[in-house]
A = this chain, B = another copy of it.
Amino acid sequence: MDETNYPEVEGGGSLILAWQIRNKRVLVVAAGRILNVLNADAKVTVVCPREGLNAEVAYRIEQGQVEYFDRKFEPSDLDNVDMVLTAVDDPEASSQIWKLCKERKIAANIADVPPECDFYFGSVHRDGPLQIMVSTNGKGPRFANIVRRSIAEQLPANTGEAITKIGKLRQMLRKVAPGIEEGPKRMAWMIKVSDAYSLEDLCAMNEEDMQTLLRFYAPDKVPRFGCLKAMEGELDAFDGSFGFCVGWG
């Protein structure tokens, strides 16, 4: 590979990550992005005097979605905690929490105090297994929402579902072409499928299309999506010539 082909470093960004916090302990002091962490299966503990709770946090406590302590933060709350989110109106108190987190190497986000954040949140679109996050690196949170909404509107409606479907196609393929030694060939063919079809095609694919498609595993070629549709119902009489088909993807 020609060295000049490597992308240039473009600083000023964030490292955008999909953090894994399933069953990890997240401490939320007062309010905070509680739904974000619940959606990622974290074990959430809220510490905040009841009169200071915001309505959503109060609702989630009532629903039993989080563990709750009706009192102010204490340093021992940080024991065995993996992540801390705070949104406290007292800058001194929250700065203190930040310092304790850093001493203990706990990742933390002190809301509205950028220098006291290991990470920022962005605007997230969720569609089943699909998550899309828009960040403006703090330069326009409202604009991030606009971009996120625009993306959500333009994606095919069943994009999240398509991920599950492709997983199913992979499983079906393993039945059609079993064996470990077939692995690399299967993988190459799946890549071929991904490359040949547009996002719209993949999202529109139904079970019958997948069955038809799998009949073309052997040649290691992928018929165009339009051809696939045209073939359906005619495949039993298929003569292998593709006289009726525009071509391969």
Residues of A that sit less than 8 Å from B by CB: 1, 3, 6-7, 9-21, 35-42, 55-56, 59-60, 65, 104-107, 117-122, 124, 126, 129-137, 139-140, 142-143, 146-147, 150-151, 154-155, 159, 162-164, 166-167, 190-191, 194, 198-199, 202
Contact = CB atoms under 8 A, between A and B. Distances in A.
Contacts of A132: 132-135, 147, 151
Given A16-B131, A39-B10, A107-B107, A150 B155 contact: yes
Contact of A143 (B17, B60, B135, B202): B202
B194 A142 contact: yes
Contact of A129 (B6, B131, B136): B136
A12 B23 CA distance: 11
Nearest to A134: B132
A115 to B, nearest CB: 9
Contacts of A159: 147
18 contacts: A1-B56, A6-B35, A6-B59, A6-B60, A7-B35, A9-B35, A9-B38, A12-B129, A15-B39, A17-B19, A18-B119, A20-B119, A122-B131, A132-B135, A142-B190, A143-B162, A146-B199, A146-B202
Contact of A126 (B10, B42, B139, B199): B10
Most chain-B Cβ atoms within 10 A of its Cβ — which of A19, A21, A107, A124? A19
Contact of A140 (B1, B14, B166): B166
B9 A39 contact: yes
Contact of A137 (B1, B129, B151): B129
B163 A140 contact: yes
B18 A18 contact: no
A159 B11 CA distance: 18
Contacts of A65: 9
Given A134-B130, A194-B142, A15 B35 contact: no
Contacts of A105: 104-106
Most chain-B Cβ atoms within 10 A of its Cβ — which of A6, A17, A118, A137? A17
